[in-house]
């Protein structure tokens, strides 16, 4: 019924493979991956959204500067946290707590109030993340080899990584609230926001120029493979980067298409399943230790997410509607 869902699932799988290859070969390559994604999306938006700069933005650029500062900070910190003994599954589980952060800041900043089921979902997701975090902390201590000083140093690095993820989580939620207020004031301009969110941060990558340049050298020294389409060989990591950038762009655009073409329940299910697919894939690919407690924590996180998005009530309403139609036909 929705062909884009099948395309999206295939692209997500391809994107996951490229991401996991990067972080397995070069754990610190997040900056070059982020830069390539930003550059590609910015160029596409400059050509097709702003018409080579001729189209004026509907939302003042000053507001985009604030939004972009938060967006750039979140993207860089999330990627850089992987350098601090943060396993990919924990990274994904932690980021799935964005619902909690958004709700908490919504209560504090926007003075929102929620139903009991919403607060229960907060408790579930918080508990799930707490379980996985504690279990990962134990693994850091157990797996650290060498002297006690080395083990303590590894644990401190892990704590720094957790602090970075926490900060990025709260900053991302604050950015969401800021976007919400902007869209209420100026209207929704998703394509425009996508362009400015990726174009304005580009100068910030100058601060990471040396790291990006070093990884460019590493990428160029990777094993060359023959590309039949173009008829010449290219380093395999550059090919993976190209695949990652294209799939990232399509996935982002696909989210906007889903929100216009599909019911909200479908979008919610796709996003939730994507998180679960990412988690399972990373566990298998990276061969990370995943204990029974990790599975419990993961299950609780996704249960809380589903409860928050009211999937259960939507499914029940859909089933009741289907039963009512069948009864009418029978009559």
Q: What separation in angstroms does the CA of 51 have from each of 47, 59, 65, 129, 215?
A: 5, 16, 20, 44, 33
Contact by Cβ (8 Å): 234, 225: yes
For the segment 145-163, the average pLDDT, to the nearest whole number, is 74
How far is 227 from 85, CA to CA, in rounded Å?
A: 35
Question: Which residues contact residue 3 at a Cβ distance below 8 angstroms, ignoring those fewer than 6 apart?
Answer: none
Model confidence at 6: pLDDT above 50: no
- Does the pTM surpass 0.95? The reply is no
Three-state secondary-structure class, residue 29: coil
Model confidence at 8: pLDDT above 50: no
User: What crossing angle do the helices spanning 98-109 and 148-186 adopt, rounded to 10°?
Assistant: 60
For the segment 152-165, the average pLDDT, to the nearest whole number, is 84
Element (H, E) at 143: helix 116-143
pLDDT in tens, 39-65: 999 999 999 999 998 999 998 999 989
Model confidence at 268: pLDDT above 50: no
Give the position of tokens 């596409």: 44
- Please provide residue 232's backbone torsions phi and psi, each rounded to the nearest 5 degrees: -145, 170
Position 33 scores a pLDDT of: 86
- Range among 54-68, 114-128, 158-172, 180-194 with highest mean pLDDT value: 54-68
Position 9 scores a pLDDT of: 42
pLDDT in tens, 123-136: 787 787 777 767 76
At 5, the pLDDT band (50, 70, 90 cuts) reads very low
pLDDT in tens, 24-42: 666 667 788 889 988 999 9
Model confidence at 220: pLDDT above 70: yes
The residue segments making up the domain with residue 47 are: 3-330
Q: CA geometry: angle at 20 spanning 140 and 194, to 5°?
A: 110
b (16+ CB within 10 A) / e for 148-162: eeebeebeeebeebb
Mean pLDDT over each residue of the chain, to the nearest integer = 75
Between 139 and 162, residue with greater pLDDT: 162
Between 295 and 6, residue with greater pLDDT: 295
Position 180 scores a pLDDT of: 74
Query: What's the structural domain count of the chain?
Result: 1
Position 120 scores a pLDDT of: 84
pLDDT in tens, 90-121: 776 676 666 677 777 888 887 878 778 778 87
Element (H, E) at 224: strand 224-227
At 262, the pLDDT band (50, 70, 90 cuts) reads low
Name residue 225's beta-bridge partners. 234
């Amino acid at each position: 019924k929705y062909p884009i869902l099948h395309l999206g699932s295939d692209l997500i799988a391809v994107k996951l493979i490229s991401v996991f290859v990067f972080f397995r070969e070069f754990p610190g390559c997040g900056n070059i991956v982020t830069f390539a994604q930003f550059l590609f999306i910015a160029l596409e938006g400059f050509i097709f959204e702003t018409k080579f700069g001729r189209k004026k933005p509907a939302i003042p650029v000053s507001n985009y500067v604030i939004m972009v500062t938060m967006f750039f900070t979140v993207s860089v910190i999330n990627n850089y946290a992987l350098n601090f003994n943060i396993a990919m599954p924990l990274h994904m589980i932690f980021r799935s707590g964005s619902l909690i952060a958004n709700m908490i800041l919504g209560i504090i900043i926007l003075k929102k109030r929620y139903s009991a089921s919403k607060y229960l979902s907060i408790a579930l997701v918080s508990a799930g993340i707490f379980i996985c975090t504690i279990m990962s902390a134990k693994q850091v201590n157990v797996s650290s080899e060498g002297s006690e000083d080395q083990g303590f140093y590894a644990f401190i690095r892990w704590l720094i990584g957790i602090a970075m993820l926490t900060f990025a989580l709260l900053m991302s939620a604050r950015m969401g609230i800021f976007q919400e207020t902007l869209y209420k004031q100026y209207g929704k301009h998703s394509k425009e926001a996508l362009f400015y969110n990726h174009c304005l941060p580009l100068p910030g990558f100058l601060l990471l120029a040396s790291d990006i340049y070093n990884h460019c050298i590493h990428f160029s020294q990777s094993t060359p493979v023959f590309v039949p389409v173009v008829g010449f060989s290219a380093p395999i990591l550059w090919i993976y980067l190209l695949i990652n950038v294209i799939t990232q762009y399509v996935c982002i655009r696909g989210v906007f298409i889903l929100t216009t073409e599909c019911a909200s329940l479908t979008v919610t299910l796709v996003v939730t399943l994507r998180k679960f697919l990412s988690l399972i894939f990373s566990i298998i690919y990276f061969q990370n230790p995943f204990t029974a407690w990790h599975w419990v924590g993961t299950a609780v996180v996704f249960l809380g997410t589903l409860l928050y998005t009211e999937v259960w009530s939507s499914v029940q309403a859909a089933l009741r509607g289907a039963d009512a139609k069948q009864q009418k036909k029978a009559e």
